[in-house]
Structure 1
Amino acid sequence: MGAVADRIEEKLQKAFAPSALTVTDDSHLHAGHAGARPGGESHFTADITASQFDGLTRLARHRLVNDVLAEELAGPVHALVIRARGLNE
């Protein structure tokens, strides 16, 4: 993985201590599209399962993730697909 993906994973690990976390760089699927960078690391998917998401709506879960990754979303990350689940799902 690249530096941006590593930073995303590190921040999500620190903020949520998830039981499962996968960060995927999907940039190659968006080559030539708006926001795509020549070196990649612009489009990601984050699959995360953590107890902090139990009982929250999908919107609330996304807001938590977006808050943690605000710096990346303001800079190098053009798009982020979030699949956030609680432990009881």
Structure 2
Amino acid sequence: MKNQEDFIICRCENIHMSEIEEILQQGADNARELKLKSRAGMGFCASRTCGPFIESLTQDRDETPSYINLKSQPPIRTISMEDFIKEDFHD
């Protein structure tokens, strides 16, 4: 159980600050590594909400600016073949 002072960093993947701190203590020193180890930024919003915060947590830990920023992608929603076919016939 998380304590009351703990807060959610990534709402999409339900990642708490305590989990991020633990990964940082284990040696993660860039945003990409944090993302891969915690899944923060891999949810529906594609790191639009938590990405800037995660990058701000790690930017001072790496002395060289060689780390890779988190990649943002637009959200994708599935569409059924039936809806796809209907749209195709109307055009």
Fold conserved between structures, TM > 0.5: no
| Greater length-normalized contact order (CA 8 Å, ≥ 6 residues apart) | 1
User: TM-score scaled to structure 2, two decimals?
Assistant: 0.31
From the two aligned structures, give the one with the greater strand fraction: 1
Q: Which has the larger radius of gyration?
A: 2
